A = this chain, B = another copy of it.
Amino acid sequence: MSTIKQIAKKAGVSPTTVSNVLNGNTARVSAKTRDKVEIILREENYIPNMAAHILAHNNSRIVGVIMFMEPRRNETVLEDPFSSTILGAIEVELRHNGYFMMLHTTSDQDEVLRLVRAWKLAGLILLWVPSTIIPVLKENILSPVIFIDSYVSDDIPSYLSVGLEDKQGGYEIVRYLLSMGHREMVFLANDSVFPGADYARFCGCREALEEEGLTLDEDRFIALSKDRKERFTLYRRLSTRPFPFTAIVFSADYYAAEAITFFQEVGVEIPRDLSVTGFDDNIYARLIRPRLTTVHQDVNRKGQAAVDLLMKSMHEEPLPIPHVRMPVRLKIRESVGRI
């Protein structure tokens, strides 16, 4: 409730002096008055008015965290623990750095621009941005922007991004499948945003196959629908014998687990009849039986890396790498059988 002006009056100094004390401007205020002011500050339980701060600075301490998603299509996205884990990680890091987090979901680029300008956002962390609008956003936003799990071209170092070694993940999973005797497989992708992380994983798969003189046709890349019913229609089709493949490579544990439960219900036993792999190594991979062979990623560290990049960029510190690619690790469990 108390303002700088009131504190100043009580301390018998000017508002400027109080401001200098608050901002640690030690060079411009004597130790004695500083102590005096600080005592009053504490007595009065002074809390800065952020709005006034923004107005004076034309810059807030708010970071916008925006999840790009279709409205009303977000059920499965939100059931994936990925969202809350990375949100939690980002929130903790921002808070420790003295920033506030404004959370927003949208699929509209203009809404993002409005948000930035209206609140004078200090920075932006964007998740799952469709590749077509990345340049549009970057051009129209002056504050630092970090793209997470968005397909950002590596060529442009002014675009800051955090992603995964997606291709490597696909490569490793197929190397493993090959070692278990598999030759024919399909790839089930999370969505059809193209080119994106899923396609990179697919390319990794293909590379592993090609090293062995095998191929992976483009029509083996199937995008899963966001609609649960449509997905189950697909699972049904895939579980019709005889299978033209021996393994299904999923681009998310969530869907792999969902499919396994379906397969079991229609009498397709995993991994005896069909092998299944996932991607993420989250709770579903550990909970489902058989436990999933999958590609591990550390979601917490992803969030931390994003905030770290953002802070460095905001404080104009040198950036080690503009495009952070978090490592992946093959996690072998029991969902792949030997042919």
Contact indicator A88/B74 (Cβ below 8 Å): yes
The answer to whether the Cβ of A52 comes within 8 Å of any Cβ in the partner chain is yes
Q: Contacting chain B: which of A111-119, A235-243, A320-328?
A: A111-119
Partner of A103 from the list B1, B47, B87, B119 (CB cut-off 8 Å) is B87
State in angstroms the CA–CA spacing of A55 and B57 once bound together. 14
- The reply to whether the CB of A261 lies closer than 8 angstroms to some CB of chain B is yes
- A39-78 CB contacts (< 8 Å) to partner B: 47-55, 60, 62, 65, 71, 74, 78
CA distance A290 to B95 in the complex (A): 41
How does the 8 Å CB contact mask read for A71-92 relative to B, with 1 for contact and 0 for none?
1001000111101110110011
Q: A201 within 8 Å of B by Cβ? A: no
> With A51-B54, A54-B51 known to touch, is A103 a contact of B105 (CB < 8 Å)?
no
User: Does B55 lie within 8 Å of A119, measured CB to CB?
Assistant: no
- Cα(A49)–Cα(B60), bound, Å: 11
- Tell me the bound Cα distance from A287 to B292 in angstroms: 13
A54 to B62 CA separation, bound complex (whole angstroms): 15
Whole-angstrom distance between the alpha carbons of A288 and B261 in the complex?
A: 9
Which residues from chain B contact A78 at a C-beta distance below 8 Å?
Answer: 81, 84-85, 87-88
Contact between chains at A120 and B51 (CB < 8 Å)? yes
**Contact between A79 and B87, CB atoms less than 8 A apart:** no
Q: Is the CB of B103 within 8 A of A91?
A: yes
Question: A81's closest neighbor in chain B, by CB?
Answer: B79
The chain B residue sitting closest to A59, CB to CB, is B51
Indicate if the CB atoms of A100 and B102 lie closer than 8 Å.
yes
A289 to chain B, nearest CB (A): 6
Residues 221-269 (chain A) with a chain B CB within 8 angstroms = 257-258, 261, 264
5 additional A-B residue pairs with CB within 8 Å, beyond A65-B103, A79-B283, A84-B84: A71-B92, A79-B282, A88-B105, A91-B105, A257-B287
